[in-house]
Chains A and B, each alone.
Chain A
Amino acid sequence: MIAAVPSATLLGVEGRRILVEVHVSNGLPGFTIVGLPDTACREARDRVRAALLSSGLSWPMRRVTVNLAPSGIRKAGAGLDLPIAIGVLVATGELEAASIAGCGFVGELGLDGTLRSVPGVLPIVAAVGTEAVVVPWGAVHEAHLVGGPLVRTARSLGELVEALNGRAPWPDVAEADGFGRRRAALHGAGSLDERPPDLADIRGQVVGRRALEVAAAGGHHLLMSGPPGSGKTMLAARITGILPPLDRSAVIETCRIHSSAGLPLPERTLGGEPPFRAPHHSVSAVALLGGGTAYLRPGEISLATNGVLFLDEIAEFPGTVLDALRQPLEEGVVRIARARATVTLPAAFLLVAAMNPCPCGQGGRRLACECSDAQLDRYARRLSGPLLDRFDLHIAVEGLGASELFGTVPGESSATVAARVAAAREIARGRGVSCNAAIPAHRLDELAPLDPKATALLRRRVSQSSLSARGLDRVRRVARTLADLGQVEGPVPAEAAATALELRAGRRAILGGRWVA
């Protein structure tokens, strides 16, 4: 009269193992669920009953009690529908207890008995910890990524019961929706039209291209300011094409986060392309950072993990939202604390941002800009100093005039640049750091020494006080990346130092006012 069915629920991007205990006893017919279910979970009662009846199974006219153990943690979502239904069937004797031994269940039930997918199948399956897991028809590819348990599926509850009873064979997982195509993507056979746009499309933009390459190679956050139409967004969209492809564990982590957010797995990411998230500037703090009441859904910054977060028109984002980015940028994770739970979500992303130089967009350009000084000052202050400090690269982007535009040859393709980036990343890894942006300040002298000319050059800037101590560290990291890209093994040469300074020239504009700097 009692049954226990393993399953799991989602909190943040982690699954938590849940044991669904069902007790059926004599007494007044009724159905109660205990163990901190949320609203969606409590409503399982009605869905499970209807699904059972419409699948041609009987509903016991007895007292049914469901306990979700451990009772202390909050259970969210409809993913426990299926384990509850299976538990009821076992407790009433419709199913043999032996037939579900070593098997976990997850899925939502439709009133007609259909199995529906739920957010977070990937982490949930990873957390169930049984030999086999039964997942909904549309979630097979997610469950497969876990790589551990045997994945089984069925289209409906009726089909599942037949298979469990041994009266029918298990449906073939390979036939499940979208499974084959996604598995092909995972093995690098994605279709060509899904590649990111190519760098060769961009004419001119010497500094923009270089900054993009350095950002990709060294993990340096990039801020671009320039008038509308100067190509900032175009540049940003091409960064995933030059970043090194993700390895399998990174692909799985990214998929896990997408799965937890209830988003379809990005097919290009399955093929190794880093994710690219570009939230609109009306985004709320919770949507950006993660949170919410139910199961602490990961936000945009977590979705961008292992990839790029692109904030277009960064000055239009609310200041509080932007400042909340500082801690994740520093630590690579975001901690979300709510009264009931605290979760740590991954948030290791490369930040690429674009902004106009002033409200009218012309950036204080003579005869073109209509903004007053006060307006410019106010605009420059939209980004707080600490946030600006996180950007190792800050460039000014400007559209080209006709003469320059027609005189240029197409630039290098993404593939050429990506090869250099991969080589530079390899050199950085040889130094024992994940990327050059992560070189700690106290190890700069050891890992990124400067040659005498570079030292003299930077010393002059510091003594002119056009470069602060912290700025100097950042310039040195960028210069190290530039040297790595040029395959320079020894100390950083002066050329790299001078280029690194130019790659943060935008900062002079934003902090120094205009020509009266």
Chain B
Amino acid sequence: MRVESTGGSSNCEEDLPDVAYAVALAALGEMTPARLRVLLEGHPAREVYEQLLGGDPALGERLARLGGPTRSESAQTALDMELSWGASGSLGAMERARAQAQASLRMWRLEAARTPVARGWQELRAGGIDVVRRGDAAYPARLLRARQVPELLYVRGRLDEASAPCVGIVGTRRATHYGLEVAFGFGRELAERGVAVVSGLARGIDAAAHRGVLAATARRKGPLAVVGGGVDVVYPRENRRLWEEVLETGGVLSEAPPGAPPESWRFPLRNRIIAALSQVLVVVESSRQGGAIHTVLAADAYGVPVLAVPGSVRSPQSEGTNAIIQEGGAGVALDVHDVLAVLSMVCEEDGTPVSFSQARSADDRPRPVSSSWRLRSGQRRDAGGPEAAAKARTTAPAAAVSRSTGRHGGTPQALELGPSLMAGTSPSASTHGGRPARAEAIAPTTPVERAVLEAVDYTATLIDLVCLRTRLDLGIVALAIDHLEELRLVRSEGAAWVRT
């Protein structure tokens, strides 16, 4: 029976691109990525769509092969099924799958007859959402190595961040202070060196990594987020502002159609995309059973090197990361240079250009991961005047190389990249790029501001302490701080101030 009479003809307009039909199929209720993949396998989307409207039994056979998960099943089952379609079940299971497939097809047929393809397509375009289909030039090549290649990707913002070099940062949503700080630092330093950072815009580690990217000064790559729900469904709500900032400077992509709620079964699927997009995966904190472990397993399957940040042996949030280090599943990332070293090796193997900076410079301020006494000593060195700073600059690279050799003795070629990059290929990310150069250009002008700046530590300092140290009146200090903040020499951290 044909459904043409119920308005099917208007559903099949000539001028629509084939991907519009794929989008229409993806938007059907209870459509999962795996089902979509099976339906579209080797067929143009328009043909499949017309088969669906026409009630073609071939579709049912194709779907039944999948075994067909539904949303009601648990996330783990859904993942297993998504990743292992075609595995033959028992005879009874096949029968059930067939019946389920027929039921879904009947439902989809009615739904498809009701909703014109053109309207869905226009709404998508109007919402500023791009669709990238497997086979398109814009489709990230590294995704093709995923166990089940996503058929469609919905993108808001920029997708070019997904090209190399690209590091994934994942971890628990219930992160500790330590984990957030490390993720933030990694995100910022990678972005400052021209490495794209991909994460999942979830609570905790993900959000901290994105925030780190956004906080980077000389940023060359925006943040890239792979989300579980639709690209227009902000989740969790508390990240709304972060989400907007990510959209502004980077991109948000998803396999789920717009409007798809962030259901729990979608997240493990999302994790496999993060794993496939990354050239190196960094796990900052994860419990033993955490979602980040899914990402690690997927990365392992795709041959993506995994680095884990070790944590306290007593912290439940570090159980997973410590365990994969112990079991040899991951290297150890103590700081961003460990990540860069591995990344340069991967790029070498892939044959992709090493377009990021591995340079260490004297201006590499100790970052928040370091303990406070080191921060204080750094401050004193700065106080020693330009000569002292210059001296420090000349000694630092040598120290850096010796330190790296100590830990990555087997990869000399990776180390040699550093100085050559500093010399030529990447002028913007050398010692003169970013924050330090500007700090030299814009300095506090008045003695009061200099004194106030001196009194602010590189760790959170309450204005109380600044007043006591400078013995200046609160009003004068407040005004000076405000000006220093405008010059970006200090920034607020909660109620306190931090020297940048």
Residues of A that sit less than 8 Å from B by CB: 204-208, 210, 225, 363-367, 369, 371-374, 377, 395-398, 400, 404, 407-408, 457, 460, 466, 482, 486, 494-496, 498-499, 501-502, 505-509, 512-517
Chain A min CB distance to B123 (Å)? 31
Instruction: Say yes or no: A207 contacts B174, CB within 8 Å.
Output: no
List which B475-494 residues lie within 8 A (CB) of chain A: 475-479, 481-482, 486, 492-494
Contact with A along B208-235 (1 / 0, CB 8 A): 1001100000000000000000000000
Instruction: Say yes or no: A404 contacts B494, CB within 8 Å.
Output: no
> Roughly how many angstroms separate A478 CA and B371 CA in the complex, as a whole number?
38
Question: Which chain A residue has the least Cβ–Cβ distance from B498?
Answer: A515
Chain A min CB distance to B212 (Å)? 8
Residues of B that sit less than 8 Å from A by CB: 174-177, 180-181, 184, 203-204, 207-208, 211-212, 238, 317, 368, 371-372, 459-460, 462-465, 467-469, 474-479, 481-482, 486, 492-496, 498
> Roughly how many angstroms separate A256 CA and B217 CA in the complex, as a whole number?
63
Out of A367, A373, A397, A514, which one reaches B494, CB within 8 Å? A514
Question: Could you list some 28 contacts between A and B, CB below 8 A?
Answer: A204-B468, A206-B467, A206-B474, A207-B463, A369-B177, A372-B174, A373-B175, A373-B176, A373-B177, A396-B495, A397-B464, A400-B465, A404-B465, A404-B468, A404-B469, A407-B468, A482-B475, A494-B479, A496-B475, A505-B496, A508-B495, A509-B494, A515-B181, A515-B493, A515-B498, A516-B184, A517-B492, A517-B494
Instruction: Say yes or no: A498 contacts B479, CB within 8 Å.
Output: yes
Instruction: Say yes or no: B492 contacts A508, CB within 8 Å.
Output: yes
Instruction: Say yes or no: A509 contacts B177, CB within 8 Å.
Output: no
> Roughly how many angstroms separate A486 CA and B144 CA in the complex, as a whole number?
69
Chain B min CB distance to A465 (Å)? 9
Instruction: Say yes or no: B465 contacts A396, CB within 8 Å.
Output: no
Out of A225, A482, A498, which one reaches B482, CB within 8 Å? A498
Question: Which chain B residue has the least Cβ–Cβ distance from A396?
Answer: B495
Chain A min CB distance to B441 (Å)? 20
Given contacts A204-B468, A396-B495, 11 further A-B contacts (CB under 8 A): A204-B464, A206-B467, A363-B494, A364-B494, A373-B203, A373-B204, A395-B495, A398-B464, A499-B478, A507-B495, A516-B184
> Roughly how many angstroms separate A366 CA and B369 CA in the complex, as a whole number?
10
Instruction: Say yes or no: A400 contacts B468, CB within 8 Å.
Output: yes
Given A509-B494, A516-B184: A374 and B174 interface contact (C-beta under 8 Å) = yes
Out of B212, B481, B492, which one reaches A498, CB within 8 Å? B481
Instruction: Say yes or no: B174 contacts A506, CB within 8 Å.
Output: no
Instruction: Say yes or no: A206 contacts B494, CB within 8 Å.
Output: no
Out of B174, B372, B459, B463, which one reaches A373, CB within 8 Å? B174
User: Which residues on B sit within 8 Å (CB–CB) of A364?
Assistant: 177, 494
Given A396-B495, A398-B462, A517-B494: A495 and B476 interface contact (C-beta under 8 Å) = yes
> Roughly how many angstroms separate A77 CA and B463 CA in the complex, as a whole number?
55
Chain A min CB distance to B498 (Å)? 7
> Roughly how many angstroms separate A496 CA and B459 CA in the complex, as a whole number?
26
Question: Which chain B residue has the least Cβ–Cβ distance from A363?
Answer: B494
Instruction: Say yes or no: B464 contacts A514, CB within 8 Å.
Output: no
Instruction: Say yes or no: B468 contacts A206, CB within 8 Å.
Output: yes
Chain A min CB distance to B181 (Å)? 7
> Roughly how many angstroms separate A514 CA and B459 CA in the complex, as a whole number?
12
Instruction: Say yes or no: B184 contacts A205, CB within 8 Å.
Output: no
User: Which residues on B sit within 8 Å (CB–CB) of A366?
Assistant: 177, 181, 368, 372, 459-460
> Roughly how many angstroms separate A161 CA and B495 CA in the complex, as a whole number?
69
Please indicate which of the listed interface residues B175, B204, B492 has the most CB atoms of chain A within 10 Å of its own CB.
B492
> Roughly how many angstroms separate A345 CA and B287 CA in the complex, as a whole number?
55
> Roughly how many angstroms separate A494 CA and B371 CA in the complex, as a whole number?
36
